[in-house]
Structure 1
C-alpha cells in the first residue's frame, strides 16, 4: 500500500473524525470539520448549505433514525477528495419526510465524496440507491399506503390532493 502524503493523512484524519462525530451525534464537532458546511444528497437532489441548514438536516435524520451509524468499507484518496464507501445503518423510529416510523431497520451501501480545497473540507457529496433503503423501510406497510408514502418522500401530492386531470 502506498504511503499517504502529509496532506492525505490530514484529510483522512478529518474524514474519520467527521464519521465518528456523526455517530456520536456531536454535531458541533461535525460542523467544525467544515469552514462552511455543505452537503449534497445526489439521489434526492437535496442540498444543505450553511451551519443552520446542515444542523437541521442532522436533527431531522437523527429524529427519524436515532441509532444511525456507519461501517466503513473502503477509504480512497483522489487529488481533491477522500472517497469513502460505507454501510449506513439505522432503525426508523421517527418521521421521515411524511413517512411515519415503521420500526424497520435498514442497511444501505453508500459512497461519500469529501471534497477539499487544500486541507479545507468544502463539500460532502453522498450517493446511494434510494430504492434499497425504501424497500427495507417499507416492509410490512400495506400496499395501498406505499404509493402515498413514496409520493410524500418525493414531494408529490397524494392522490386525494392532486389536481384533477384536465379533460380534452
Structure 2
C-alpha cells in the first residue's frame, strides 16, 4: 500500500472497475482515443519483455505494433481484485499471429495466454500505469509450436522465427523496471 491513498470505498472500487472495464472494451474495439482518455498520461510497463511505453506517441506505437501482429486480439476476463492503489485484472489474452511480432514473422497460429495486469491509481484516483505480467514462453510455444514441422515449407518460417527471437533477446531492459528500491517496512 502506498501512503496517502484513501481507504478503498465501494464508490471508489466501482468507479475504478468501470474505468478498467471501459479500458478493456475500448482496446478490443481499437478505439485508441477512448483507451488513452482513461489515463491523464498513458504509461504501460510490460514486465516479461522489460519494456516501458510512456506517453501518447509511445503507447499508440505499442497499440499499432500489437494489432499488426494480432489484429483480432481479444480477452476473456477471469477476475478482478482490488487493493488500496490498484485494480488487478486476471484475464486470457487471445488472438491470431497474422503480422510480425517485433522480429518474429507471422505464423498464422492462434494463442491464448493467461495474464495479470495491475491498473495503478494515484491518490487523486487517476490511472497512472498498466503493468502487465505474462509468461512469454507459453505465448511463443503457441505461436511457433503451432507450425507443423512435417511440412517442409514451415522449416524456413521456423528458422526465421528463431532468428527473430534471438535478435530480440539482446534488448536492454528499461531502467525503471530494474532499478527498483525495496520499501521500508515498520517492525
Q: Does the alignment reach a TM-score above 0.5?
A: yes
> How far is 1:5 from its partner?
1.2
TM-score, with length taken from structure 2:
0.78
TM-score, with length taken from structure 1:
0.87
Aligned to 2:131: 125
Which runs of structure 2 are paired with 1:102-121 in the superposition (5 Å)? Answer: 102-117=107-122, 118-121=124-127
Write out per-residue CA displacement over residues 96-150 of structure 1, whole angstroms, 9 at most, x where no aligned residue. Answer: 1111111001000000000001321000000000000000000215354453132
Write out per-residue CA displacement over residues 11-56 of structure 1, whole angstroms, 9 at most, x where no aligned residue. Answer: 0000000000000000100000000000000010000000000011
Q: Provide the alpha-carbon RMSD of the alignment.
A: 1.6
Unaligned 5+ residue runs, structure 2?
1-8, 148-153, 172-187
User: Which structure 1 residue ranges, 4+ long, deviate > 4 Å from structure 2?
Assistant: 143-146
> Is the CA contact 1:99–1:152 (under 8 Å) kept in the aligned structure 2?
no
Give the structure with the larger strand fraction.
1
Aligned to 1:166: none
Aligned to 1:81: 86
Which runs of structure 2 are paired with 1:39-58 in the superposition (5 Å)? Answer: 39-58=44-63
